[in-house]
Structure 1
Amino acid sequence: MPIKIAVASGKGGTGKTTVTVTLFHYIKENITSKVQIADCDVEEPNSSIFFDDLKPIESKEVLQMIPSINTDRCSFCKKCVDYCEFNATVVIPGVGFAEVNSALCHSCGACLYACPEDALTEKSHAIGQLIKFGNNQETPLIEGKLKVGSAMQTMVINHLVNDDWLNGDIILYDAPPGTSCSVVSTVSQANYIILVTEPTPFGLHDLKLMIELVRKLNKPFGVIINKADKGFEETNTYLMSEGIEILAEIPFRVDYASSYAQGSILKNIPGDINAAYSKLISNLKNKWVHYA
């Protein structure tokens, strides 16, 4: 079974994708070449921009089954409306109207179960796609991409994290930002969670929300403080008071930020950042052996 590691953060912009991609590099160099990234930020996946040598080589649609109501068979009893928890079905007996709103439907099947006339049938609708990135030797990145206008982020994520394209020894889930349902769908699949934060009041506030979430999910986790030398000590104080392990403190470097802006963070990694990731890998090796 692969080791599944989610990299998450309570807010956007903390460096979550930077950590995921750089961690991928160090795992590949020091632990196993069979490591993959699953980009679960399906509304705005961007891990691929940091890999010059990878191209999209295959894709497949993510389909959602949406019920359709045959009004010739429908008795307009509105039982489907009563059973629907998402207010996706609309039935107006007086004008003979019955419809399922695809934007609200979660494909739970309750309306099909409720209908006494067997008037509903399911039809497939594309809500996104999975994209495999690779080269001649390997496929290290699988990206989930939500169709514009769809609200089914969690369904695309669930397809991604369970897809057979993910077959490495270690899989890194690049989670969406925040603490919403899409984040829960991602981190709930992981053996271990790395939380990335920044030493700012906003970073600490959202880190606390994320810690509350992973504790409710009963998931083991540790914290990486990115841009750690910015002088906000309250983050370290909070983590120590809570007994939460700081996995690594990554310093801020202008040249590294410049490399990030050019999509080339894996080239010319500064020495102190290299030391931080090397220490992180050494630290994580002992943890991941329990999940192998």
Structure 2
Amino acid sequence: MKLAIASGKGGTGKTTLSVALAQVADRPVQLLDCDVEEPNSHLFFEQAATDCEIVTVPVPRIDEQRCQHCGACGEFCAFNALACLPTETVLFEGLCHSCGGCRLVCPHDAISEQQQRIGVIRKARHGKIDLFSGVLDVGLAMSPPLIRALKRHQNDETLILLDCPPGTSCPLSTTIQDADMVLLITEPTPFGLHDLEIAVETVRQLKRPIAVIINRSDLGDNSVTNYCRRERIPVLLQLPYEKRVAVAYSRGEGLLDALPGLETQLEIVLQHAEKLYRESLS
């Protein structure tokens, strides 16, 4: 099963729960940290990465000797990465999605492609957990290609946990588009409910089954539980605020270090998530 752990906003406890779920699983686990702009799952493990893979994407290069500035490439590009001026064709690399279409439509064979580094994938093994962390290079904004490269390491014979990027934009969609189940982490506040509603809409557009975990469940109101009831979204777990978790987190320790008695409840969460996925297939 591919279980994506996501949230409509940052700071809800998504990574903390992703690591804890990996730790309680009763089988080999792949934990993929897809928050490539700020990966932090590795902070909960003592062993450093043992392998590092450089990720590149093809970027167009324009031969000014051949370019006739006809505008075909700029007209084709849906992302406005090419500006065709009377005497120059300008490439905005930050907007390029590396689709290769400009090279194909150029009638003068003036566009080639060059590989450009966008980040790395760090790999480490922690007992039964294989951790893969994508790290986007500083200054780059296009994270989906790195997320896709990271997901190519998925082994369908194991339990796969996807620690998603926060928010509901392209990085999240890229991460969850082939997930079997999406577990949304939220908190019972107006901001939490607002971002949960947007996240639910996004996940439903991709036709993925949804369940919810409410973190710090005793600090807000009942708006999130009422919303989930109206939308028929199962709430698999409610975690009250616990100062020991915050203290442990500040020391680089995980959820189960602070609350070892939570292990059974998290095991049940995994069981329910898999059951909901099976039911969605019927």
The normalised TM-score by structure 2 is 0.93
CA distance in 1, matches of 2:197, 2:263: 28
Q: The residue matched to 2:165 in structure 1 has which SS?
A: coil
| Distance of 1:282 and 1:187 partners within structure 2 | 20
Equivalent pair of 1:132/1:139 in contact (CA under 8 Å): no
Cα separation, 2, equivalents of 1:273 and 1:177: 24
The match for 1:69 is 62
- Report if aligned partners of 1:248, 1:279 keep a CA contact under 8 Å in 2: no
Q: Deviation digits for residues 138-172 of structure 1, max 9, x if unmatched?
A: 661000111111121111111111236x5651110
**Partner residue, 2:120:** 129
- Indicate yes or no: 2:149 matched with 1:149: no
Return the alpha-carbon distance in structure 1 between the equivalents of residues 181 and 280 of structure 2: 8
Check 1:200–1:14 CA distance in 2 against 1; reply closer, same or farther (3 A cut): same
Compute the displacement of 1:271 (Å).
5.8
Q: Distance in 2 between matches of 1:41 and 1:274?
A: 25
8 A contact 2:63–2:110 mirrored in 1:
yes
Q: What is the aligned counterpart of 1:60 among 45, 53, 58?
A: 53
Q: Trace 1:11-160 onto structure 2 (pairs within 5 A).
A: 11-27=9-25, 31-32=26-27, 34-52=28-46, 54-94=47-87, 97-134=88-125, 140-160=130-150
Coordinate RMSD, CA, aligned = 2.1
**Partner secondary structure for residue 124 of structure 1:** strand
Runs of 4+ in structure 1 deviating by more than 6 angstroms, as ranges, are none
Give 1:255 shift: 0.9
Aligned residue for 2:159? 170
Cα drift, residue 86 of structure 1:
1.5
Distance 1:139 1:58, change over 3 A: farther
**8 Å CA contact retained: 2:245, 2:255:** no
* Aligned residues of 1:191 and 1:291 also touching (Cα < 8 A): no
Q: Distance in 2 between matches of 1:225 and 1:180?
A: 22
Cα distance in 1 between the residues matched to 2:271 and 2:59 = 48
Alignment-mate amino acid for residue 97 of structure 2: H
CA distance in 2, matches of 1:102, 1:228: 44
Give the secondary-structure state (helix, strand or coil) at the position aligned to 1:157: helix
Which letter does structure 1 place at the counterpart of 2:134? G
Count how many residue pairs are aligned between Structure 1 and Structure 2.
Answer: 281
Task: Give the unaligned 5+ runs of structure 1.
Answer: none
Report which stretch shifted further, 35-44 or 137-146. Answer: 137-146
Displacement of 1:278: 3.9
Distance 1:229 1:275, change over 3 A: farther
Check conservation: 1:67, 1:123, Cα contact below 8 A: yes
2:103 corresponds to which letter in structure 1?
L
Deviation at 1:287, TM superposition (A): 3.6
Relative to structure 1, the CA distance from residue 118 to residue 232 in structure 2 (aligned partners, 3 Å threshold; closer, same or farther) is same
1:256 to 221, 245, 252: 245
Match for residue 215 of structure 1? 204
Tell me if structure 2 keeps the 8 A contact 1:8–1:196: yes
Out of 184-193 and 84-93, give the one that drifted further: 84-93
Query: How far does residue 264 in structure 1 lie from its aligned partner after superposition?
Result: 0.8
Matching residue of 1:232: 221
Q: Structure 1 counterpart of 2:213, which letter?
A: I
Letter in 2 for 1:256: V
1:93 Cα deviation from its structure 2 partner: 2.9
Cα gap change, 1:291 to 1:57, in 2 (>3 Å): farther
2:270 pairs with 1:281? yes
SS in 2 for 1:259: helix
User: What letter matches 2:164 in structure 1?
Assistant: A
- The TM-score, its normalising length taken from structure 1, stands at 0.89
Contact 1:250–1:276, Cα closer than 8 Å, also in 2: no
Stretches of structure 2 lacking an aligned partner (at least 5 in a row) = none
